[in-house]
Amino acid sequence: MDVRISYGSGTIELDIPQENLASQIAPQDVRAKSNVMDELKRTMESPHGNLLSELVASKSVCVLVADHTRDMPHSDLLNAVAPFLVDANFVQFIVTTGSHEVEHPGNLDIVDRIKKAAQDADLRDFRTLIHDCYSQDVENLGKTSRGTPIIVNSAAVSHDVYVPLSDMKAHYFAGYSNALKDFLPGVCAFPTIEANHSMALDPMSTFGRHPYHPDPARRNNPLADDMREAMEIITKEAKIFTLSTVTSSGKLVWSDAGRLEPVIAGGIEILDETASFTLKPTSRIIVSPGGYPQDKSLYHAQRGLELTKNAVLDGGEILLLAQCKDGVAPESALENFYNKLTAPLDDVIKSISGRYHLYEHKAYKFAELLKRLSSVKMYTELAEEIVRPAHLDKVGNPQEIVDAWIEEDPRVEITVLDKANKLAIYAS
């Protein structure tokens, strides 16, 4: 049967016989709303707690907007929030890049969208800023209980109201992408992000676990809890109002607004229902991160492997479909992610036993996965001389890999995982 899988800005079609297709998994969009703005307006008018317009009257407000790497309806969220900010004294919009690239065309486009939404709503006094984790214009607000220094962009400090906008999905070490990440890593300096992300090596810092999870048994995630503490230190006594969504294939599946904890908990519940799957592992799996921007680089595509790795048996093979038109990794991540990954796998794992450096967790986790598999084959625009040193096998035709798997074992079971960066796979 024909199976369509996301790749770059389009799709790839593979022919997999029905008897060989164990399962075809992607986030469910059965709850998708037909009119996004109508749904967001309804959400904003029935929040957990006070209306945003009541909270911001004569106040200083900081709106936190996820950067270009987040596949979310930026304009819709901004247009839904901006009309509620007209009575604020001042509104600071910040594109929350964390440690990501600052002057990326996608971020500049988001700034334009912010300005348009603010102008359409006739906001009196507003500014926009793209966060730079290397900026010297920062304030040190202390430390979390785990010792993470909370060094924050000065523009994000001392507001009366914070409005983090978030599109939620599973996250392979923060548990779930959610509004907490707009604070840390979103507006924090490099040393803060590095200290927090060092906890990604803790086995409890993984998807499906978060301090706001509705199930008390799934609340232990050291890294995510450190993010929670950071948010509380940054906001102090300020009010927080989030507009959060879950989207799938560009469709709005769920939205909620208001106080942080009940909104995040509700989003987690929806994600566990629509994007979490328990599967019997198979020896062959095909993984697509979900097309651009989820497969913009190997650095970004790797998330999909981490979130779906439970679907493949030890000694199995993965076919990774990731265009990577932006290259192997952001420049800031080349040394501690890609360059480190090119060493022998045992050396990669041993080298990250001392002082942690940001992005090393990605090399460490990638090496652990590669060690337990026979191979990861990759269909990509990356050159072979880039792919091969990272212990990956570049392939020219993904259909030939599928055909070879079936020729080798006519009874082979193949699992297909599309939009993997928004999945959470558990082994049965």
Residues 320, 206 within the same domain:
no
CATH number for 181: 3.40.50.11440
pLDDT tens readout for residues 192-214: 999 999 999 999 999 999 999 99
Q: What is the mean pLDDT of residues 157-162?
A: 98
Enter the tokens of residue 227.
Answer: 């993010």
116 — pLDDT class (breaks 50, 70, 90): very high
Distance CA 107, CA 95 (A): 7
pLDDT category at 351 given cuts 50, 70, 90 is confident
Last residue of a domain, one of 273, 294, 313: 273
Do residues 114 and 233 share a domain?
A: yes
Confidence at residue 124, expressed as pLDDT on a 0 to 100 scale: 87
Residues 385 and 415 reside in one and the same domain: yes
Number of domains comprising the chain: 2
Residue 170 and residue 157 in one domain: yes
My answer on whether 375 and 300 are in the same domain is yes
What DSSP string runs through 285-298? EEE---STTTTSSH
Pair 262, 310 in one domain: no
pLDDT of amino acid 187: 98
pTM above 0.85, yes or no: yes
Asked if residue 395 and residue 247 are part of one domain, the reply reads no
Same domain? 191 vs 312? no
Same structural domain, 267 and 283? no
Residue 310: predicted pLDDT:
97
3-state secondary structure at position 214: coil
CA-wise closest residue to 123 among 163, 150, 151, 177: 163
- pLDDT, tens only, 389-412: 999 999 999 999 999 999 999 999
CATH assignment of the domain containing 14:
3.90.226.30
Q: By C-alpha distance, which of 287, 298, 318, 303 is closest to 383?
A: 298
Range of the domain at 417: 2-27+276-427
Kindly indicate the confidence band of residue 251, based on its pLDDT and cuts at 50, 70 and 90.
Answer: confident
Last residue of a domain, one of 224, 246, 273: 273
The whole-angstrom separation of Cα 64 and Cα 268 is: 20
- DSSP annotation of 131 reads -
How crowded is residue 1: how many other Cβ atoms within 10 Å of its Cβ?
A: 11
Q: Which of 248, 273, 298 is the last residue of a domain?
A: 273
| Average pLDDT of the segment spanning 298-308 | 97
266 with 280, same domain? no
Question: Percent of the chain beyond pLDDT 70?
Answer: 100
151/45 same-domain check: yes
Asked whether the predicted pLDDT for residue 354 surpasses 90, the reply is no
Q: What are the Cα distances from residue 266, in Å, to 79, 106, 146, 230, 366? A: 23, 29, 27, 21, 31
% of the chain residues with pLDDT over 90: 93
Q: Within this chain, do residues 211 and 316 fall inside the same structural domain, yes or no? A: no
Reported as a single tens digit per residue, the pLDDT across 52-107 is 999 999 999 999 999 998 878 899 999 999 999 999 999 999 999 999 989 999 99
